[in-house]
Chains A and B, each alone.
Chain A
């Protein structure tokens, strides 16, 4: 008998070239993608490139408007607003990406195991995710901040714990539907062990779903981080998370509103752009999948 030809990834999903073209047709997503492509490197590079440190104060130059030395002006302690904004972006992105990676790892693995194993393991894991999904992320973060103390790490831990259940469910769902497919049956017939099937075949074919989910998650994660920092539970001063910038600008709302408006715009634009990119990618890869989960 001929060895079974390795069956390719299910051809239901559009090939790479196809969905790339679909994406291009969707102009909103492309625009959003360009924005993200601008914001991300800026946030990462600017703080290193600009001549100011984020906590470099100059009490003789407070509340200055935009100028050649300070493109966005200075804040209440004479610190460069652009530097602080970029540094805040760095923090948001780092927290966002790390959290998403952690929840992908945790959620993806647990969800994959649950989906593949089935039976009581699946049942218990799903009960666990149900419990965790019922717990509001913000409350969880507040609790953890009280125990672990405030800081970026606490935020990452809290958001990972809050986010992995949804990821797990997505992955589990996909794995469930894939595990009876021919290529999996074939692999099993060839004697592949569970781990190998899981990793090499099943999870590899859910990657696109994970990527879409992850992209959609970054926005809310960044927003929650800003909220926590605003409340004093996330990043601590003088480190400038966007949430910290917004909180500190409150008392100057009537006399120097730019200090509040600028970080608010940065936050909104970033989250919006990430959302559009995520949804657009989801639509392109598999129309309807973004809505389903």
Chain B
């Protein structure tokens, strides 16, 4: 072969080899978005979701009919549109025609009916089913009498679901259908997986398919190519479980995490940092943090005067200004801003140590004498509760003379103790909206019949207001009753709201498409993220 031909062939082969390598390298490195979890999720069953960990995981795997967007509007998700009859009792949802389960099967209206029926049934062990579905026709039959299918949910055709509500309806069904517990689940997964089906068979219709849940270590997902809004533009999602906010921050600074909640102890330093300061984003949050008082464990709390004394002894403004750099808002009622019924004028019991002492004396504990030592358990899931607990404990000791012991436990243990309802005397925790409705705060926490009534509050007056709010014929009337309920909370003090928080995050500037919402941990499902190379 002539020499120049040989050289040409060699040069060509080298060029092809190089191109191939470059192409394969470019194709091989998967893009990964990394966001840490603050604690091991107690479970990943969407129907039982009641904490951040399980919300964050399930909202990636499963999808609901509607979803809340960045502008706080309820917008289509798995449902492409819906209509409601004039009397508010018949809702018709039209599903998208390209919804696919992670196992490849197409999802349709039958799956919606199955999912809602199962949610209503006691098999789901859901703490939210009453809240979300109690006005659906046939709920009682499924929830209490062993019926398997919700008669009020009708499959009109494979892409159309009609849901009938009893009169009077409990309000906006479309909002309730954005709650992850109403997500579409696969019958075959539940039947094959048994009681803990969610971990054994995590088959959803969401943007991310669960790849691995390494307990106490991390949760890893792969992008689901047939996601109905289009395959996510990032290949992989990783959620390492990192309980210490300081460690998370260090990981972010090392480039090991793409988003991180700023521990407020470092807020000043990060704000002043030329590089990190630019990555910081602050936005509003529908979360209220409060000190819950449990009379079932600590008898003095049975007397409202004692609870009011405790409320008067806490200087919320001082704690917020000195410990939280003025970033948060002193709380009045239990409802945070953003929830319809929130009243910025509602102030609650003010800081008044003299009044606190007087009330305590009236209740028979002058100077704190006779008050047994109080244990204050603290939710460890973010630094906020820990940072709030000790100053509040010291204020209670200084003003009321009660000795307070602050107990920090591991998250799963804390949640379990809280849910037992008879284990904790008092606890510092918070509640964040995953749907913009007051029921999620009032009814879930303080309605006497709610399974999550962790403070064992039993007030006929409060129950009545909840029932009136639920059966109100329109939104305005519902809001009016909700406001009254929140006011009653400030006077009857089943819990002491301390502050409404805001999100302070560090976000990798290469990440685009993160929807920041005021709910849960600040983000909806990571369905539209992109990472610039």
Q: Which residues of A contact B (CB under 8 A)?
A: 55-57, 59-60, 62, 76-78, 150, 232, 236-239, 250-256
Contacts and interface: CB of A to CB of B under 8 A. Distances in A.
A74 to B, nearest CB: 12
B213 to A, nearest CB: 25
A139 B139 CA distance: 48
Contacts of B321: 59
The DSSP consensus for interface residues of chain B is helix
A238 B406 contact: yes
Given A236-B406, A238-B406, A251 B269 contact: no
Contact of B323 (A56, A77, A150, A255): A77
B394 A236 contact: no
5 contacts: A76-B387, A238-B393, A251-B266, A255-B268, A255-B269
A237 B323 contact: no
B330 to A, nearest CB: 14
Contacts of B147: none
Given A251-B246, A253-B246, A59 B323 contact: yes
Size band of the interface chain B makes with A:
20 to 34
B408 A232 contact: yes
A238 to B, nearest CB: 6
Given A232-B410, A238-B390, 16 more contacts: A59-B319, A60-B322, A150-B407, A232-B408, A236-B405, A236-B406, A236-B407, A237-B393, A251-B245, A251-B266, A252-B265, A252-B266, A254-B246, A254-B250, A254-B269, A255-B269
A78 B398 CA distance: 15
Nearest to A238: B390
Contacts of A57: 390-391, 394
Given A57-B391, A237-B390, A251-B245, A76 B265 contact: yes
A254 B405 contact: no
B408 A237 contact: yes
Contacts of B246: 250-254
A172 B407 CA distance: 41
A254 B383 CA distance: 15
B394 A55 contact: yes
Given A251-B245, A251-B263, A59 B390 contact: no
A77 B390 contact: yes
A77 B406 contact: no
A180 to B, nearest CB: 54
Contact of B383 (A59, A236, A237, A251): A251
B265 A255 contact: yes
B244 interface: yes
Contacts of A56: 394
Contact of B391 (A59, A150, A250, A253): A59
A251 B244 contact: yes
A195 to B, nearest CB: 43
A55 B323 CA distance: 16
Nearest to B409: A232
Contacts of B405: 236-239
- The winner among B321, B323, B394, B404 for most chain A CB atoms within 10 A is B394
Nearest to A255: B269
Interface string B241-281: 00011100110000000000001011011000000000000
Nearest to B407: A236
B151 interface: no
Contacts of A236: 405-407
B301 to A, nearest CB: 20
A185 to B, nearest CB: 57
Nearest to A252: B265
Interface string B369-393: 0000000000000010011011101
Nearest to A256: B265
Contact of B266 (A62, A232, A255): A255
A77 B391 contact: yes
Nearest to A236: B405
B358 interface: no
B397 interface: yes
Contacts of A237: 389-390, 393, 405-408
B318 interface: yes
Contacts of A60: 322
Contacts of A250: 244, 246
Interface in B223-246: 244-246
Contacts of A256: 265
Nearest to A59: B322
A62 B250 CA distance: 23
B394 A238 contact: yes
In the complex, the 6 A-B pairs of residues with the closest C-beta atoms, listed nearest first:
A59-B322, A237-B406, A57-B394, A252-B265, A255-B269, A251-B265
Contacts of B408: 232, 237
Contacts of B322: 59-60, 62, 78
Nearest to B393: A238
Contacts of A76: 265, 323, 387
B266 A254 contact: yes
A150 B408 CA distance: 10
A237 B374 CA distance: 12
Contacts of A239: 405
B38 to A, nearest CB: 13
Given A60-B322, A76-B265, A77-B391, A55 B244 contact: no
A78 B268 CA distance: 17
A237 B269 CA distance: 26
Contacts of B245: 251
A55 B404 CA distance: 11
Contacts of B269: 254-255
A236 B406 CA distance: 6
Contacts of B386: 251
A55 B396 CA distance: 12
B406 A232 contact: no
A232 B389 CA distance: 15
A61 B408 CA distance: 25
Contacts of A252: 246, 265-266
Contacts of B268: 255
Nearest to B391: A77
A32 B406 CA distance: 36
A141 to B, nearest CB: 16
Contacts of B323: 59, 62, 76-77
- The winner among B249, B268, B405 for most chain A CB atoms within 10 A is B405
Interface in B482-504: none
A236 to B, nearest CB: 5
A91 to B, nearest CB: 14
Nearest to B380: A232
A76 B397 CA distance: 18
- The winner among A62, A77, A78 for most chain B CB atoms within 10 A is A77
B30 to A, nearest CB: 31
A55 B250 CA distance: 30
A237 B409 CA distance: 12
Interface string B309-326: 000000000110111000
Nearest to B410: A232
A223 B393 CA distance: 27
A252 B383 CA distance: 11
Interface in B442-476: none
Contacts of A251: 244-246, 263, 265-266, 383, 386-387
A118 to B, nearest CB: 47
A217 to B, nearest CB: 28
Contacts of B409: 232
